Amino acid sequence: MSQTPASPAVETATAIAQAHGNRPDALLEMLHEIQHRLGFIPEAVIPALAQALNRSRAEVFGVVSFYHDFRRQPAGRHVVRVCRAEACQARGGRETEAALQQHLRLKTGETAPDGSVTLEAVYCLGLCAIGPAVMVDGKLHARAEGKRLATLLTEVAS
């Protein structure tokens, strides 16, 4: 009886798990590597990792869903990340997030249907004293409010 061939994502995940000796304590590193290579954590990877690490699917899924860094869908061409941690919240982070949602017509965590942009929450970008902080395609922006935010929104739309 022939087996169904594994998907490229499952092959990637299995190879990464093997490179870490299939050690359950290396699950986070494995997930980061998978996301780095594939851009997100595909659903099919979860049972493959569970089997490789001799853990339950629920355990692996729990780790993937607990950490906000892990994407379960491919990201858009542009990724906008808004800080939701305390210092930024105290400096107007909620208003910045609301403005981003309105401008992009997305809820936080969503990707535009045309795949142009993803809006994500993060919990500290290291700019706590000069928030609210936003990251656009890996570039940090401090004091993302008022005119500064308006300029940023124009750039995101272009």
Q: Which two tokens stand for residue 9?
A: 């994502």
What phi and psi, each to the nearest 5 degrees, are found at residue 140? -80, 145
**Nearer CB in complex with ligand FES: 62/146:** 146
Applying CB under 6 A, does 121 fall inside the site for ligand FES?
no
100 in Cβ contact with 144 (< 8 Å): no
Among 100, 127, 152, 153, binds ligand FES (CB under 6 A): 127
Contact between 133 and ligand FES by CB under 6 A: the answer reads yes
Restricting to residues 96-115, which ones interact with ligand FES according to CB under 6 A?
A: none
**Which strands form 139-141's sheet, in the order they lie side by side?**
117-122, 78-83, 134-136, 139-141
Which is nearer to ligand FES, 19 or 90 (by Cβ)?
Answer: 90
| SS3 readout for 42-109 | CCCHHHHHHHHHCCCHHHHHHHHHHCCCCCCCCCCCEEEEEECCHHHHHCCHHHHHHHHHHHHCCCCC
d(CA 148, CA 134): 11
Q: How far is the CB of 94 from ligand FES (least distance, A)?
A: 12
The answer to the question of residue 88 lying near ligand FES (CB under 6 A) is: yes
Q: Residues 39 to 68: which contact ligand FES by CB under 6 A? A: none
> Min. distance of Cβ 86 from ligand FES in angstroms?
6
Question: Which lies closer to ligand FES via its Cβ, residue 13 or residue 133?
Answer: 133
Whichever of 88 and 117 has its CB closer to ligand FES, that residue is 88
Q: Name the site residues for ligand FES (rule: CB under 6 A).
A: 83, 85, 87-88, 124-128, 131, 133
